[in-house]
Structures are given as structure tokens and as C-alpha cells.
Structure 1
Amino acid sequence: MADKLGGKGHSTPYLFWNLPRRSFENILNEVLRHVRANVDVELLWQLLGGNMRELDELVNNYDWDVAMWLRENAINRIKNTFDNYCKAGRCGSISKVLNELIENGNSAARELNLGEFVGQPDIVRGYFGLLEGNVMVRLLGAWRLSGTSDVQGEPWFGNDYAYQIPAYYWALRAMIERRTVNVSPDDVVRTIRENAKTMP
């Protein structure tokens, strides 16, 4: 389970409905038997994490165009979330939000002896509007303790917080590593290929 902050500071629990990796890959491979699409199954796992709603969005609204989906549904989602944070009077620009996130993240990573800050969910913790913007969720009770072996160890899934979909983590990580909110889908895919445990 996870929870999302309501508009007035209320907390509402939600269940994750992402499929386990093997089930996601089986469904994806079944779909690919019926359509002509050049798809990297591992890349889609790293972007979608088994989220069938986002797979449906990619297939039906973007005709398998991963770059367009990534730009509109991950990169722009984070930028819009930062922009909403700024509009609430909390910061001057989305670039300043990113810089503050990096500064705070680097400090926390040093204090916790976690190495380089790259957007780890338990350091980011949904700050800067990322929880309210539904980019991240706080993990609750049984979900934290249950057998979530498909995602445990993935960089987008922490002990207390997780990104709604891995694409948000990878897009934010690309921004952090490049120190700019102006990243391209190619930048995000490159970040995945260079850092995901299972990517060739």
C-alpha cells in the first residue's frame, strides 16, 4: 500500500497495481506477437515497472513511441510538478527547485553515507511537490514488509518512498546528473542504459 496526500493535507491509501516483472513481460510478449512494434522489453520494464495503465497509454495514445511518451508523461510531469511548487510561492523557478533538491540530496546522502545522490526515493521523500504531484508515493504497512522482490533493489523503490513509475526516477536522475531540467528522452534512456542493473 501507499498513500497520497490529499488537497487539504489528508492522506489517502492506495494499492499499487503494478504487475510483477515476469507477468508484465509475459503480457508484453503476448501483445507483441499480435502487433508490429520494435520494442525493448527491458527498457519498458525500466520505464513502466509493470504499470499496465502506462503500458496502455504508450500503446494506444502514443503508438509505441517511447520518446514521445517519455517526454510528455515523465519529463514534463516532473517539470510541471516543480512549476506548480513554484507557483505555490515556494521557489522562484523550476531550475532553482532542481538545484535545491540536488543540494539537499547531496547533504542527506553524505550524512547517511549513501554515496552519490542520484534521486534515491528515501532521500527525495516526495519533497518539492513530488508527493502532491503524484510523482512519488509513501509506502505503508504491509507493502513495505511484503514480498516485493521484483522491485526491491530497484533504484526507484526505497524503504519508505517510491516513484509511481520508474520513468519518473530515471527522468529526475537524468536532470540531477546533468544539473538541468532540460533533458531529452535520449538523455533519460542513456541514464537507464548506463545505470540500470539489468540493462545490457
Structure 2
Amino acid sequence: MKTMENIVKSLEEYLVPSLNINFVDRLCETRQILNIIDRMKIGSWIHVVTGPWGCGKSEWARALVYALNKIDEYNVIYLDLTEKEIDKFYATTKMELIELIEDVIKEIAGDRAKIPWYVYRVLKEIYVKMKTRSRDLIIIFDEITYAIRRDRYELEAFVNSLGQKLIAIANEYSCKAHAIVITSDQLASRYFTLLSGKLLSNYVMWNLDKNSFSKLVKSLNSPLDIDSLWKIIGGNPRALAEIWLNYDWNLSYYIERQIDKVGVSIREKAIEISNRRNITYDDAICLIYDELDRALDNIGELDTILLWDVLLRENIAIYVDNRFHKLSELPPDTWISSRCAFQLPIYYWILKAIAEHRTLNVDVESVMKFLP
């Protein structure tokens, strides 16, 4: 397929601005999502993509828009709802599209965060002014919960509204109109799974596979052993960048930060349990240790423990069950099951040390002893 070959070539040419390196391999994910859109008989659909925090969803989306612009067969729009600056908000979106969208924004009080609710108006402006009738549309909303509250009913209202507006555009301009909605918010992702079938499918993208991760590590000239990094961050690009930029490749400092993150989350949950059940803090924390002992030997049961909602909220764990189409292949490993997984392996090893020693005061050395 010539078009796909050109898209793949352009993906590899895309330069990641924050790291000043070429984009590293998301070819499988790109082929999958575009083939799904191409094969769909219905003209409009919403594709919700989640995955571990920092796995590269946003950079993939920006690279995808860059690559699709090169073949010039789609109207493709990227909107980063975490950003205020115009160049970062639209990133790789074509300038002519940005100008048309900005014209509409001026009419809606100049607030770009309102775009999710004014999709029909924005898209109609594009199709009328650019005279691109029949050209298929892909609009990407990156981190949607920065514009829409993390509330089941608000998210449902957004999905219903967006679905109807995409249908209207598809019918009016004889094109396909698809939205890719990206979220790292696992509580929002859980609500989106309840809406599957309402012109909506859910997908999970994973961290880089080991070959791609090795390529990224080498491109950053890391002095660290690739196998050691893999056992700690499991191919997560943002964690790798954090170890480089924030800790100057000092893994111990990075692990200390993750120990603190996990410890704070457990303390907060223990206090909540103590207050709700009218038991002592010590009894509450022991209850958490007991549950961790059980669940860490069977990751598929992780969502049955009291700590689960905290693990989701803090982006420590994630659902990966069959409600999600797998855009990426999940590697077989101790910290991943067919239902639940830790977003980074280091979280599993930290919790293993905490459960084993029955204390939150674990150190880097005691955590590292659990690594294979």
C-alpha cells in the first residue's frame, strides 16, 4: 500500500522537539488505527486511546498528524488540550487549518478549551472555506480531561455530542469523520469503557517494545545498561527522559522518587480506610499489606484490592482487559496480566518490597533485591 509506505517514511522523519531526535517506531500502532478507520463501513467513529502515562501517546499523535499532512489526503487536526500557547496547542496541524479554527474561536469567547463542544462549527468552517468536500477527516483531542471534567455524565454528554457532530459532517460533506481521543487519566478511561458501542471503541497503547526502547536509549547516549533500564521503566519514553533530564542518569534518585510517590498514595488510602471503617491507622495499613501480599502474586486480581482506585488515579496501574483493542503488543512479564498491569515495572517491585517488609520505609537497595 503506497500511501501507508509514505506515512511510515514520514513518521521516521518526524523530529521530537523536546529531545531533538527522530521519532522512534510506532509503526504497528499507526497501521492498526488507520486500517481500522479505513475498513469501517460507518462514516463516523470515536477512538479513545489510553495507555501508561508517558508511553508516547501524545508524541505519536503529533507524529501521525505530521505524516498524514505529507500525503495530503486527509483533513487532520491535532489539539493539545493541556497547552495554552498556540504553536503547542496545534503542534503539527497545518497552518491553514489553524487559521480557520482560530477564526471560529474568536466567535466563542476566544477559549480553545471549548473546541470539543463546538466541533461541528469548527469542521464546517474548514470544509466550506477549504473546499475539500469528500476528503476524510481525523481530529485528535489530546488529554481530553483538561477540557472536559472527569465525570461520567459529562464525558457521556461529550461523547454523544461529538458522535452526532461527526455524523453530521460525514453526511453533509460525503466523507469519513473520525475522532481520536487520547487520555492518560485512568478514571476517565474507565468511564469511556462504559460507553463502548456508542460510536466509540477503546484502545490501549503500551510502552515501547525492547528493540525500539534500545534504539531510543542509544540515541540519547545513555551510559546506563539497557537491561537494567528495561527492568525498571519497561520501555517508557517519558520515564527515560526524566531519568536523563531530572536525575542525570542517576537511577537511585529516580527510584527514590517513585518510592515516595507510592508511599504517599498508600498513606492517604490508609487514612481514608481508618476514618471510613473507624479503625486505627495501623490496622488499616496492615489490611493494605495483607491485600498486596495476595494480589502481587496474581496481578489479574489487582483490581479487587482497596488500593486499586488509588493505583489508577496516580497512574501506577491500568486496566488492559478485553474491553480495549490492543494497539501495541503487551510483553509477557510478572507485572502484567491479561486484565490489570502496572504502568512501570518499578511500581511492582516497590510494592513487592513494601508488602514483604510490611513497612512504607523501604529504600532503593531493598527494592532492587527483588529485581530479576
Q: TM-score range by the shorter chain?
A: 0.7 to 0.9
For residues 177 and 157 of structure 1, the distance between their equivalents in structure 2, rounded to whole angstroms, comes to 20
The offset of 1:143, in angstroms, is 5.1
Contact 2:203 / 2:327 at 8 angstroms: preserved in 1?
no
Aligned residue pairs: how many?
174
Cα separation, partners in 2 of 1:185 and 1:144, compared to 1, 3 Å: farther
Q: Which of 173, 186, 193 is the aligned partner of 1:4?
A: 186
* Cross-structure match for 1:112: none
After superposition, residues 1-200 of structure 1 pair within 5 angstroms as 1=50, 4-6=186-188, 10=191, 15-32=204-221, 37=223, 39-72=224-257, 74-87=258-271, 89-91=272-274, 92-93=280-281, 96-106=283-293, 109=294, 118=296, 120-125=298-303, 127-128=306-307, 129-141=310-322, 148=329, 151-152=331-332, 154-192=333-371, 196=372
Question: Of Structure 1 and Structure 2, which has the larger fraction of its residues in strand?
Answer: 2
* C-alpha distance in 2 between matches for 1:98 and 1:67: 26
Please, what TM-score do these two structures have when normalized by structure 2?
0.41
**Amino acid of the residue matched to residue 165 of structure 1?**
L
Q: Kindly tell me: are residues 67 and 183 of structure 1, through their superposed partners in 2, closer, same or farther at Cα, counting changes over 3 Å?
A: same
List runs of 5+ in structure 2 lacking aligned partners.
1-49, 52-184, 194-201, 275-279
2-side partners of 1:64 and 1:96: how far apart? 39
Moved more, 140-149 or 127-136: 140-149
Tell me, yes or no, if the aligned pair for 2:205 and 2:326 is still in contact at 8 Å.
no
Aligned partners of 1:118 and 1:177 also within 8 Å: no
The structure number with the bigger radius of gyration is 2
Unaligned 5+ segments in structure 1 are: 110-116
Q: TM-score, normalised to structure 1's length? A: 0.73
| Partner of residue 42, structure 2 | none
Bigger relative contact order, structure 1 or 2 (CA pairs below 8 A, ≥6 apart):
1
The AA in structure 1 aligned to 2:208 is: L
Displacement of 1:25 in angstroms is 1.2
Offset of residue 52 of structure 1: 0.2
C-alpha displacement of 1:43: 1.4
Give the match's secondary structure for 2:186. Answer: strand
Aligned alpha-carbon RMSD (Å): 2.9
